[in-house]
Amino acid sequence: MANDHGAVELAMRMKAHLEERGISVKYLGVDKPESVDYPDKAAECAKEYLKGGYDFAIVLCGTGIGISIAANKIRGIRCALVMDSYCAAMAKQHNNANMLAFGGRVEYKEDPLKILDAYLDSKFEGGRHERRVNKIMALESNQ
């Protein structure tokens, strides 16, 4: 998990929530409002995730947009910017997203912890979705 200065409070809430659920968290974010660059935090988190031993990763910035774009530039990452529980569940069930992005300055219609739980409580369905995920990943080598 990593965040920039725009999502300190939400990152702390998510970290505590994950730990309450019994999930170990490697925290790479900042806990102060001093400015840091979200592309750097996205790259750091993605590279740590890709070392192996993790089920998923979370990145956060002010909107979640910039950090998700940056994370998706890293080969092997499928980062979904999720705005509600339905999208979070589909990110896992259909896209097998290995990273989620959230915005610390976003006014969510539901608690972001509920959105996170929807992802955590979902499973990748495979089948036709696996074929599509493989096509997504093949795009990385078609450039």
Query: CA of 11: how far to CAs of 3, 26, 29, 32, 41, in Å?
Result: 7, 12, 8, 11, 13
Under 8 Å between Cβ of 101 and 79: yes
Structure tokens at 111: 């608690």
Could you tell me what percent of the chain has a pLDDT over 90?
95
**To which residue do tokens 């979902």 refer?**
122
3-state class of 18 per DSSP?
helix
Residue 65: CB atoms within 10 Å = 14
CATH topology of domain 2-141: Ribose 5-phosphate Isomerase B; Chain: A, (3.40.1400)
Write the pLDDT tens digit of every residue in 94-135: 999 999 999 999 999 999 999 999 999 999 999 999 999 999
Q: What is the pLDDT of residue 143?
A: 59
Whole-number average pLDDT of the chain: 96
Q: What is the pLDDT of residue 80?
A: 98
**Helical (H) or strand (E) element with 61:** strand 57-61
Write the pLDDT tens digit of every residue in 4-49: 999 999 999 999 999 999 999 999 999 998 999 999 999 999 999 9
Residue 142 confidence (pLDDT) above 70: no
Terminal CA-CA length for the chain: 29
- Domain residue ranges of the chain, discontinuous segments joined by +: 2-141
Write the pLDDT tens digit of every residue in 68-81: 999 999 999 999 99
| Amino acid making up residue 60 | L
Cα gap 83→127, rounded to integer Å: 25
Residue 140: CB atoms within 10 Å = 13
Sheet order of strands, 2-3 included:
2-3, 57-61, 99-103, 79-81
Residue 62 confidence (pLDDT) above 90: yes
Residues involved in catalysis: 61, 94
